Amino acid sequence: MGIVVRPEHLELVNRSGAVVDTLSYDADAGVFIDVLGGVLGGAPDVEERRGGHEWFPSTADRWPGVQVVDDHEPDGVSADMNVSVRFTHPIVGNGISVSTVQGFRPGDDLEAFAAELGEEWHGSGYDEFPAETGPDIAPRMCFEWDGSCVEYANANAVSVNLWGGGTTDPTVTSVVSAPWNFGIGHV
Q: What is the pLDDT of residues 38-51, one digit of tens each?
A: 999 999 999 998 87
> What rounded mean pLDDT belongs to the chain?
89
pLDDT for 187: 42
* Average confidence (pLDDT) over 155-177: 81
- DSSP per-residue string spanning the chain: -EEEE-SSEEEEE-TTS-EEEEEETTS-HHHHHHHHHHHHTSPPEEEEE---SSS--EEEEEETTEEEEEE-PPTT---S-SEEEEE-SSEETTTEEEE-TT---TTS-HHHHHHHHT-----SS--EEEEEEEEESSPPPB-TTT--B-SS-SEEEEEEESSGGG---TT--SEEEEEE-TTTS--
pLDDT at 22 over 70: yes
* Average confidence (pLDDT) over 85-113: 96
Q: Give the global pTM.
A: 0.90
pLDDT for 88: 94
pLDDT band at 58 (very low <50, low <70, confident <90, very high): confident
pLDDT at 164 over 70: no
